[in-house]
Structure 1
Amino acid sequence: MSKKCELTGKRPLKGHKVSHANNKTKRRFLPCIKKVSFKSKLLNKKLKITVSNAAMRSIDKKGSFDQFMKTVKSENLSIRLKKIKKSIIQKSA
């Protein structure tokens, strides 16, 4: 499973684990990512997407998956979701 959010583009960060003695060892900060299925009312189908918790909260704030897809920037979306966004915008117009 990819460690990247398909909606927000969040991916792992690199950094150091710093001990009390100030010893630094390399580590990765992984985003909290889940596989979630969303229902698109305009397209009448379910979509299974890898999403971060921050993206889940954003979708809840907008009200629905379709509303979120209309307002999100395309540069953050995966290639598959860019096509879905285009079809959602065409259906709503």
Structure 2
Amino acid sequence: MSRRCELTGKAVLSGHLVSHSNRKTKRKFLPNLCNVTLQSETLQRSVRFRIAAASLRSVEHRGGLDAFLIKARDGELSQGARQLKREIEKKMAAAS
């Protein structure tokens, strides 16, 4: 399982640990990943994702999972999230 958010694409970053004497050693900055279950109103079912805590706040800010996926670019979504986005768009098109 990769250390990457399935909704925003946030991943591991590398940098330096800088000591008081200004010596630099390599380190990794890991995203704060959480296993969450989000509810899709359009599909009437719940979906499990491994997303960053900041992404969870973004989903709530945009008005839920469906609104977040519709606005999100396909390049930053995981394969499962892209498939869910297509299902939501089909269901919304059929309802219109």
TM-score (norm 2): 0.91
Deviations 1:26-53 (CA, angstroms, capped at 9, x unpaired)? 1000011101100111112111101112
Asked if residue 47 in structure 1 is aligned to residue 54 in structure 2, the reply is no
Deviations 1:57-81 (CA, angstroms, capped at 9, x unpaired)? 1111111111111111111000111
Residue in 2 that maps onto 1:3: 3
Number of residue pairs matched by the alignment: 93
What residue ranges of structure 2 are gaps of 5+ in the alignment?
none
Matches within 5 A, 1:1-93: 1-93=1-93
The percent identity for this pair of structures is 40
AA aligned opposite 1:5: C
Runs of at least 4 residues off by over 6 Å: none
CA distance in 1, matches of 2:71, 2:10: 18
CA distance in 2, matches of 1:63, 1:86: 18
CA distance in 2, matches of 1:69, 1:7: 8
RMSD across aligned positions (CA): 1.0
